[in-house]
Structure 1
Amino acid sequence: MITHGDDLLISGAWLLGLGTLVGAIGQTRQTLTGTNLGKDLVLKGNVIEAVGNSLQAIGRTKMLNSENEHSETYFIFGAWLEAAGNTANAVGIDIQLNGSEEEGTRTDALGSGIQGLGATFEAFGASLTEATFSRSLEIKGNGLIAAGSFLESIGNIFILNEKRRMGEQILLLGSWTQVIGAFILIDAFSIGPEPEQPEKGKEGLNSHYSYVNYYA
């Protein structure tokens, strides 16, 4: 039986995947055309990601207990940081669309850095949990989201330093890196029972969270 907290985690993961995909499509159009075409999609993608991160933070909070408090604290803090970073990204892009290119790019760069830091906290939180296949996917997924976010921050810094072509290419790489990471997280939160470590002899000992046994 899936719990409300688990449900929020999975819903948040799907929104995160959708948001990164929408943003990456928008960034691809922007990079290929060398114009602001597609920037509106990047903005919408970041808003969707912020909602997804918020749902995950709330879901983690509902699942918090004395046994998982140490790792969950990193997850919760990281998810809220990601939500804040994506919100800053959306604000920065909106500022760019309204004519303040440099100010908007600075805000966007800051937001991506905050988002990357949040994903790093989540990856670290996953590393503190019991060794399972879903845990490995969580580390990889959040690690890729962190890497992609930092790449986007670097890309914006290149643009601020009047190296727009290189900056746009780095932004494109960062956006699709996040897509891969987000869909790995969807797998992590939706995965079925794990066959690893059968010698324990008890169903559920290998579980990270109850969503690991969702299909049991």
Structure 2
Amino acid sequence: MDFQGEDLVIAGKWILGVGSLIDAIGQTQQSLSGSDQGKDLIAKGNGIEAFGNSLQAIGRTKLLTPKRELSQIYTILGAWLQAAGNTTNAVGVDIEIYGPGEEGTVIDTLGSGIQGLGAAFEAVGATLLEESDYRTLTIFGGGFISLGAFLGSIGNIYVLNKKNVIGEQILLVGSWFQVLGSFLLINAVTIEFEHKPPLKPETDYSYPYSYNSFSNIE
């Protein structure tokens, strides 16, 4: 089955939203319990987010116009960076669960930074578009995800410095910022494709070697 670019982007945004929600629920459990409870959900949520980001990147690549506008390049680059960041997060949290906790937290910190950078690229790409509801929602959505991811890095740095209480609070706020950003992006992409003018059916089927071309030759 050949999925169109629009289908992949829409599916990717919804999967991202689901993944960010699972991640936030896991982070809430961890932060409120003060234990490793919820880490499994965090790892799964980040993996789901990475899959959603990858679908978006592939979909946006399919939708590239011949001009390859800078806004499109930023969006695709941002999606791939977010996929890489979320994958790194998932690996880091898995290491926290099954291996040296501090090493896993360092990897998780790096992943959040990469994710934040990718979301920032997506938001910057939207600023290059014409004024519209889609543009505004994409800027805010990408901005919230970027802020949430960077807060994740900051929270982990506090945890690495044995300031677990404030670190967990920052991680909790950051995770829910990402949920907010993800659902803003779902609204944005819905507006983008619902309001996109349909392609006009081609009514002129003229060919250079048609019967009419030959009939005009004397």
Give the structure-1-normalised TM-score.
0.88
Aligned length: 197
For residues 193 and 102 of structure 2, the distance between their equivalents in structure 1, rounded to whole angstroms, comes to 46
Secondary structure in structure 1 of the residue aligned to 2:37: coil
For residues 16 and 210 of structure 1, the distance between their equivalents in structure 2, rounded to whole angstroms, comes to 18
For residues 69 and 78 of structure 2, the distance between their equivalents in structure 1, rounded to whole angstroms, comes to 14
How far does residue 11 in structure 1 lie from its aligned partner after superposition?
Answer: 0.4
**CA deviations over 1:163-186 (Å, ceiling 9, x no partner):** 011100000000000000000000
How far does residue 134 in structure 1 lie from its aligned partner after superposition?
Answer: 0.7
Bigger mean CA deviation after superposition, 78-87 or 67-76: 67-76
1:17-32 matches, within 5 Å, as 17-32=17-32
How far does residue 99 in structure 1 lie from its aligned partner after superposition?
Answer: 2.9
Structure 1 match to 2:164 = 164
Structure 2 match to 1:51 = 51
For residues 100 and 128 of structure 1, the distance between their equivalents in structure 2, rounded to whole angstroms, comes to 43
Structure 2 match to 1:113 = 113
Work out whether residues 190 and 214 of structure 1, in 8 Å CA contact, stay in contact via their aligned partners in 2.
no
Aligned-CA RMSD value: 1.6
Structure 1 match to 2:138 = 138
**CA deviations over 1:53-83 (Å, ceiling 9, x no partner):** 0000001100001345211100011100000
Work out whether residues 189 and 212 of structure 1, in 8 Å CA contact, stay in contact via their aligned partners in 2.
no
Structure 2 match to 1:205 = none
For residues 85 and 106 of structure 1, the distance between their equivalents in structure 2, rounded to whole angstroms, comes to 13
How far does residue 101 in structure 1 lie from its aligned partner after superposition?
Answer: 0.6
Is the counterpart of residue 213 in structure 1 residue 196 in structure 2?
yes
Structure 2 match to 1:122 = 122
For residues 169 and 68 of structure 2, the distance between their equivalents in structure 1, rounded to whole angstroms, comes to 40
Bigger mean CA deviation after superposition, 60-69 or 30-39: 60-69
Secondary structure in structure 2 of the residue aligned to 1:142: helix
For residues 92 and 110 of structure 2, the distance between their equivalents in structure 1, rounded to whole angstroms, comes to 9
Give the structure-2-normalised TM-score.
0.87
For residues 72 and 213 of structure 1, the distance between their equivalents in structure 2, rounded to whole angstroms, comes to 16
Unaligned runs of 5+ in 2: 199-218
Q: Which AA in structure 2 matches 1:40?
A: D
For residues 111 and 163 of structure 1, the distance between their equivalents in structure 2, rounded to whole angstroms, comes to 20
Structure 2 match to 1:203 = none
**CA deviations over 1:77-116 (Å, ceiling 9, x no partner):** 1100000000000000000001311100000000000000
